[in-house]
Structure 1
């Protein structure tokens, strides 16, 4: 279950998850104390909702692992991690603090995304030779639509009047150089899938993943010993995307440069056996497509539907384009 926290970034590593959570809570407490070392505001400026968000994710994750425990015997794998990067956190960020919101987000996460992901992987991805990540992120999108639509009809789910923007904490900070900000933004991209978006969380997660790899190279990264190349591809695609689309970060803005970090870039590495040409091309194509596609799709998202739906849909589109392009080129 602990490893599920970092499986959205393509390495199921308990040490990476410890780093992620330690960094996330460090960023949260630094934000609460108004420290100048807080970095990018945790969870897009929804700091007060962060503990409730983590609570909803943990509850949903525990229940999912218990509910689908019978499908995990004899070394079998199931995408139990999908609740970490989808409905529970999105519901709390939309509707605020409170036990009713926490419980609703957790339950909706359990009943929507994991079953859909398992269904799509078994009946769409596997028969057609499509990377599993496409089915996973498509399930997140469909589950997000179902959950957000359901919340609109639940009488206890009310949007707070003082809600800050869902995104808007990735801005270029004039107090730091462009290069320093770029490094911080790349690190933050590594924790965006978990709705944290902090360089503390992303940086310590990478440290934990590397420590886990040094202890046992076959453990992180699905036993393929490709973690160094996966990390390199992720850093490269994030850096290219941040440089390409940095204008959308200015003036308090935000954009989904993390899309290829958790989808097309690691897929290019794993699907093509760590090929350097696939790594570089996959990172570049993913960076060029991920954020603009997500931004375009976000314009179609109605009110009270979290924009993560657009982001994960962009992951499916970007991954398919990258995978098919590399199959044709290589």
Structure 2
């Protein structure tokens, strides 16, 4: 298996490396960039979708927040947007240079499809809006905000997702063909999972599901198989996943810790079928604390704890003023920027 550095240097010249780079983009929101983890994520997502369609009691958390009928269209839009982004910006990946091509996986395309529903016009519009908004903004913010100030790149990335999301949702409201569509009824009456209703079992399932929230899947099947894929990839070559830093085990531990603390702290918002953004630190402040401080255990634990305390309530507060048809992911990614800055500056002062 080639090294991470060799892989990135081949992306602009080898189509094999390019396709695996595109595949790896599905898990880069979690700081892995692992093709095997991405295979696990997508396999788990489709398992969750099929179990949802059959109303299986093993379906677990409903895929894509119960919008299962929109799930295939959402994935289609993300794949189209991601492939187009990587084709357009492929030349910028020359000589191993990194670019945030993954940003469309966790932002505009999926959000727009989940807002408006099924249909080819919606799928293509969401994909195009994803390409023209978030990737250019992310590159701009990293070059002109993060690099000059020394703050983590994730702040620029999630800020670009927030601004791009606002632009895309505003544009969709004036496009004449963008109208909310009705979903067909499920093939069978909805059946909620009867497996593992205990508090401890639910908490574990909720933590695992948080690992696929950034991709708008939110399923323990997707999150669990993604973690398995990431671990298998690490066992094959520890220097590959996680940008070649060999910090994947600590990143995973920080993410599990951040999610678990958040789920326990804010579980009242999950009761009665509710939801809250406990995944915010999982994809922002927790891995940033590990990477920015070279895997330091104090940074890992403090970063996970601070992120868990701030992430969900800040996202909830920011979501309140959003107008109709502006997806709440905008508030979630803004919370990621705020939480990451607080964690990074706090750890810089403490450690």
Global fold match (TM > 0.5): yes
Cα drift, residue 160 of structure 1: 2.9
Contiguous gaps of at least 5 residues in structure 2: 1-21, 186-191
Contiguous gaps of at least 5 residues in structure 1: 165-170
Q: Tell me if 1:101 matches 2:122.
A: yes
Residues 277-320 of structure 1: per-residue CA shift (max 9 Å, x gap): 00000000000000000000000111100000000000000000
Q: Tell me if 1:280 matches 2:292.
A: no
Corresponding residue to 1:112 among 125, 129, 133: 133
Corresponding residue to 2:251 among 226, 230, 236: 230
Could you say if the C-alpha distance between residues 228 and 174 of structure 1 is closer, same or farther in structure 2, counting changes exceeding 3 Å? closer
The match for 1:9 is 30
- The 5-angstrom pairing of residues 196-235 of structure 1 reads 196-235=217-256
Secondary structure of 2:81's aligned partner: helix
Residues 242-274 of structure 1: per-residue CA shift (max 9 Å, x gap): 000000000111000000000000000000000
Could you say if the C-alpha distance between residues 308 and 163 of structure 1 is closer, same or farther in structure 2, counting changes exceeding 3 Å? farther
Residues 17-61 of structure 1: per-residue CA shift (max 9 Å, x gap): 000000000000000011110000000000000000000000000
Could you say if the C-alpha distance between residues 122 and 163 of structure 1 is closer, same or farther in structure 2, counting changes exceeding 3 Å? farther
Q: Tell me if 1:22 matches 2:43.
A: yes
How far apart are the structure 1 equivalents of 2:135 and 2:349? 32
The match for 2:176 is 155
Q: How many residues align?
A: 325
Could you say if the C-alpha distance between residues 163 and 241 of structure 1 is closer, same or farther in structure 2, counting changes exceeding 3 Å? farther
Q: Tell me if 1:308 matches 2:333.
A: no
Secondary structure of 2:174's aligned partner: coil
CA-atom RMSD in angstroms: 1.6
User: Any conservation in 2 of the 1:56–1:103 contact (CA below 8 Å)?
Assistant: yes
Cα drift, residue 174 of structure 1: 9.6
How far apart are the structure 2 equivalents of 1:172 and 1:126? 47
User: Any conservation in 2 of the 1:290–1:318 contact (CA below 8 Å)?
Assistant: yes
TM-score when normalising by structure 2 = 0.91
Secondary structure of 1:152's aligned partner: helix
The match for 2:80 is 59
How far apart are the structure 2 equivalents of 1:211 and 1:246? 31
User: Any conservation in 2 of the 1:172–1:249 contact (CA below 8 Å)?
Assistant: no
